[in-house]
Chain A
């Protein structure tokens, strides 16, 4: 009797959240999956009887679309170059702020964390001006070191590094906090014991800090990777995927096919390929971490 009431109460507490998730998250996912096997397009928008089931055709077309590969390449570039840089900067600043020699930690933490809370669209606009080849602050500072002007957003070779720089600036503060939390959880006695054994600070870092941070690193690695795969707003606001598709990303491609050309079927297939890739990378990362831990 009592058990069944507990059950009912539990489900009542869960009901609002679960029904919201079901209606506004899981059903759309299933619908998107179904959509990806149809040719839902501008014609079907006008007249739904023009909708056809096309099997895997969208996926086949996708594989043959060079723009998809370009977008995938750019997205991987962003994940593989931007992700680790961002994590390393986070770790570096976290270590700096954990140093016992540093005071006013709160002030520095605020400075480092401020970009995280800012609105991406707004700061992307700011950075667009900072990147301006003639009037931008960045090229001006570089000129002090004798580096000649770079057309950050106009040159296909520099557009991606420019996006990564912005993303790292914007995001590193968040992971920094999580690293700090991880560092604070490492028992001080471990370091003391190591010092007694005569270990230097680098050795302490290698034998204590790194292994003890492993769970935190896994968490950060996973969330950063998933977030970076969804690279969209930066190129949408700054370059629209240009120059010469140098900054087109998977999500941007999906958005353009879906809402610009209204090729919803094709767009949904892009979304699912992205999902599959993220899934794959997550599994690989989990396995690698596990392997390293054993």
Chain B
């Protein structure tokens, strides 16, 4: 017993020491690249070509699960163990820029033939800018558009998708009134913050005010959008409980609802999961606008590359970003993952021009705007989401709900307000 315990003890200690001391010395530049979700597995297929062109560089991809992504980045920052390069959603860029974790990219862009602002969709590019400094280079992009059932809309006299809010309301009422079975026109999930923010922004709301230190949700514009959204639940044009839609794909296939606002990832899912007889009977369209026939505003989505400030190999990392930003490499990545290319040039390829479902996205990308580029946004969005359910279910007046929302948002922004007022953050 004594001996075995002692042995275990000694060998464990020895092993720990050996491991913590050993380090690999390779002449190659090693670049650590963090990716989230399935991107990591797919991007590895693009690496051999890059490493062939740049024999002195080796890319080490680490996959981080989406659910733990934010924690990993923050603890990585606190623990000083961030990688050289990472993919980052543009809602997270302001936060890491504020922390001083990100390398400003302006000087790299100035000398790059490949990566220039005009080669990207303006709204997407902008979402990577914080206080007029570029921190991220778009890798792939997405945004929300309207998915709709052509056959159901045609049956009520709409041969085109709704272009304005009025048309959206009109077609919705017609769909609901024409059906014999109980059904809805549009699915506006009550467990997402997106519908209220989309409608609010389209109505002209800035969402936040006073240097983004206070909520502006009880303002006139946001309320217009919110009223519009809520009328869909009240008129029973949209299901007001998530329980009514157990399975989106099934609901869409059965015509339980005919329209759904969602992103490009669902194109593949719809093609896979909808029954074959529905092929060609559904389409995508830019979001309806409030007044004219211009598309309504949507949100810039997708992922960007960022370089972390402490990285000793920024030049090599930049080479890697340039490689993945080549239009043909972007197309390869699209084929591997279905993620839409960020470089506008890639969109001239027949792979995308021939795909009718992609055209709505191409149009929509011209009208995308970031909601609020501050670190607190995710928390605010989470709160809006909590309130979406209230909107769908309760009878409280909108003014009251939105005032309450503002008071929460103001609370989240307390620190930011203080930083401004005490002059610690530049106005």
Contact = CB atoms under 8 A, between A and B. Distances in A.
Interface stretch (B70-78, B103-111, B130-138, B141-149): B70-78
B424 A50 contact: yes
A43 B415 contact: yes
A52 interface: yes
B375 A42 contact: yes
B246 interface: yes
Contact of A45 (B77, B242, B414, B416): B77
Nearest to A43: B415
Interface stretch (A94-102, A185-193, A214-222, A256-264): A256-264
B382 to A, nearest CB: 9
B8 interface: no
B411 A45 contact: no
B98 interface: yes
A234 interface: no
Contacts, number: 46
A262 B378 CA distance: 12
Contacts of A39: 414-415
Interface string A140-170: 0000000000010011000000000000000
Interface range on chain A (Cβ under 8 Å from partner): 20 to 34
Contacts of B98: 42-43, 46
B3 interface: no
Interface in B325-368: none
Contacts of B95: 42
A54 to B, nearest CB: 9
Contacts of A261: 378-379
Interface residues of B, number: 27
Contacts of A115: none
Interface in B384-422: 386, 389, 411, 414-416, 418-419
A79 B37 CA distance: 34
Contacts of B415: 39, 41, 43, 50
A244 interface: yes
Contacts of B419: 43, 50
Nearest to A156: B243
A216 B389 CA distance: 46
Nearest to B418: A52
B24 to A, nearest CB: 30
Interface in B49-102: 67, 70-71, 74-75, 77-78, 95, 98-100
Given A259-B71, A262-B74, A46 B246 contact: no
Interface of B: 67, 70-71, 74-75, 77-78, 95, 98-100, 191, 242-243, 246, 375, 378-379, 386, 389, 411, 414-416, 418-419, 424
22 contacts: A41-B415, A42-B95, A43-B375, A43-B416, A43-B419, A45-B74, A46-B98, A46-B99, A49-B424, A50-B415, A50-B424, A151-B246, A155-B243, A240-B67, A243-B191, A243-B242, A244-B242, A244-B389, A259-B75, A260-B71, A260-B74, A261-B378
